Copies of this chain bind each other. A is one copy, B any other.
Amino acid sequence: MKIGIDMMGGDFAPKEAVRGVKQFLDSASPETLLVLIGDQARVAPLIQAEGIDPSRYQLVHAPEVIDMHEHPTKALKGKPHSSINIGFQLLAREDIHAFISAGNTGAMMVGAMYSIKAIEGVQRPTISTVLPRENGSTGLLLDVGINSDCKPENLLQFAILGSLYAHHILNIATPRVALLNIGEEESKGNLLVQAAYPLLRDCSKIHFTGNIEGRDIFSEKADVIVCDGFTGNVVLKMAESIYDIASSRKINDAYMNRFNFENYGGTPVLGVAEPVIIGHGISQAPAFKSMIAVAELIVQRRLLDKIRENFLA
């Protein structure tokens, strides 16, 4: 298996990307080869300095870098030799089996949608976040920002995608799927969730347990929580701010520390035809390590084949 990594993406690239690669390889099985995509002159010396075993990686030179604040489509067009562009080319050709970047999120999304495309039947690919829970487990919330206006059918598809991810990657036998709402009764909510409710209830591919309120996002009442990307993005960023508040107030609590979303690495783009993982711009070595491990798991467990099977007409 070959996993491609954009070494130039993120605020601390390439140094933290290289350190993350080293950390991953130190504990990984030898079958996985990492394809490191970036500016050779900047990346190679760091790889040597970390003493990474040359049999475990390939370095692919990418002379251009898409900056964090560039316009996604313009940058992808204007910088064909950027690490993100080259990564998607390798992925499209199946020279790599997954692609990871902590770089420009918009460019990653555009690349995923246009170089790789959605799996047949998936209307809108989605991104998610893991949710820390007090018992040590994690739930999943989706969409968290790329689909800010949704149709009821989109929410149903997020539920199926999230459920498959929770089952195959988060190891939850029968993920309980809930709809984020402002009341528990079926009739509650805005027009979107009112229309989505019966679709979720009547879908045999998921285990739907009903509505869940904002107060239960971090509870153990559901494993997969579905919402439109506007609401989900507000929830995610608010959750991130809770960690910031806790740390600025020197609250040192094991559970609160799990609100440090940096630790979770990144989010897979669920619903596109090859594994793509987008990292947080502030990703450091542990986040890169974690993203590579998730990518490996997605390939090993053939998550995308499972998704394809579930979206066959």
Which residues of A line the B interface, CB within 8 A?
Answer: 134, 145, 148-149, 180, 182, 189-191, 193, 213-219, 227-231, 233-242, 244-246, 248-249, 251, 253, 255-256
Contacts and interface: CB of A to CB of B under 8 A. Distances in A.
B255 A238 contact: no
A227 to B, nearest CB: 8
Contact of A236 (B134, B214, B231): B214
A152 to B, nearest CB: 14
Number of copies: 2
A109 to B, nearest CB: 13
Contact of A182 (B216, B217, B230, B251): B230
B231 A149 contact: no
Given A182-B233, A237-B213, A251 B245 contact: no
A148 B215 contact: no
Contact of A241 (B215, B237, B246): B215
A157 to B, nearest CB: 18
A234 B214 contact: yes
A219 B236 CA distance: 16
B255 A145 contact: no
Contact of A238 (B149, B238, B245): B238
